[in-house]
Structure 1
Amino acid sequence: MPRRLTHEEIEERLRAAGWHPGRDVGEDVGELMESAAAELRSHGYSVSPFPAATDFLREFAFLDLESPGAPPQEHCVFEVRFVDAIRAEQIAELSELLEQPLFPVAFERMERGTAVMDPLGRVFYTHWSGYYYLGEERDDVLNSLLTGDQSDAEEFYV
């Protein structure tokens, strides 16, 4: 099991990536989200941005966080990248299982997975190996993304 990052370690990685308390990238997020929604629609999954995802991305969009370890690597990018037919299909399938719309909020580079959020603020992870739950609280979500410590999402299926 991967080592859990402390709150201080997460804060350090966030600050190194350009985050600060109260960060708000404002209108840039609107363009990012509309572009992501259009890309998803082009692959058959229709979703509109919702407040939980918008709020999350207003604070964290465009940050590149480094994973723990030596050497550190760019690990997680808080924007929507590489939305292709396969990822759209995964997001649609997980959305159906959860009976909740999902919006992508991050791309994880090492494993090439996508973090998606539902309107309740829960964050899940789509990966070729399955679907995982990352958490609802900021530190839990970031810890999961940065260390790979994730739990199976099945308990959330309706």
Structure 2
Amino acid sequence: MTTITPSPEVREWLSRNGWSSGRDIGAEAEELVRIRLRDAERQGERLTPVDAAVRIIREYGGLRLAHPRVTDLVMEMDPTGGYDGDAAAILELTANLGKQLFPVGYESREYGLILVDEIGRFFHLHHTGAYFWGSGEYEAFAFFLGREDALDAEDFFV
């Protein structure tokens, strides 16, 4: 179930890291999406910018959400981060989930991509596999802060 409002801990953490309710980076979000699409095309692939991911980019794009207890662990809310071959990996996960995915950022420790699918679920594409982080941003942020074991994305394959 998607959490509609952030917990007090998540809200305070977001605020400390530059977020405020109603934040919208507008045209900058559109440019970040265009950059990511061009990079996927450079890799010979075509990504689809789903509405749920674009909404996340508009609201959280450009933020560096530092973990309060783990040094050098940050959610970089920048969809342009990635690596050669990541578009193919995103499309493979898309096919397995049966839902379009689009990157909204990455985590700074091991550079795993943070992806959002068309229904707003968050996934982490890591070199060890793909993992489910939550249904909606508040669950994903709470997961990041709690650092509990993630579910395998395979549990959500069609």
TM-score by length of 2: 0.87
**Corresponding residue for residue 81 of structure 2:** 82
Tell me how far 1:106 sits from its aligned partner.
Answer: 1.2
- Structure 1 residue runs of 5 or longer lacking an equivalent are 1-5
Q: Is the 8 A contact 2:47 2:91 kept in 1?
A: no
Corresponding pairs, count: 152
Deviation at 1:41, TM superposition (A): 1.9
Distance in 2 between residues matched to 1:39 and 1:24, nearest whole Å? 24
The residue aligned with 2:53 is 53
Question: Structure 1 length normalisation: TM-score?
Answer: 0.87
Does 2:123 align with 1:124?
yes
After TM superposition, list the pairs within 5 Å mapping 1:128-147 onto structure 2: 128-147=127-146
Distance (whole Å) between structure 2 residues aligned to residue 95 and residue 148 of structure 1? 24
| Matched AA of 1:19 | W
Root-mean-square deviation (CA, aligned residues, Å) is 1.8
Q: Which residue of 1 aligns with 2:107?
A: 108
* Corresponding letter in the other structure for 1:99: G
- AA at the equivalent of 2:46: S
Assess if the C-alpha contact under 8 Å between 2:33 and 2:80 holds in 1. no
Q: Which stretches in structure 2 are left out of the alignment for 5+ residues? A: 1-5
- Asked whether the equivalents of residues 40 and 83 of structure 1 are also in contact (C-alpha less than 8 Å), the reply is no
Distance 1:30 1:81, change over 3 A: closer
Q: Give the drift of 1:153.
A: 0.9
Match of 1:156 in 2: 156
Assess if the C-alpha contact under 8 Å between 2:53 and 2:120 holds in 1.
Answer: yes
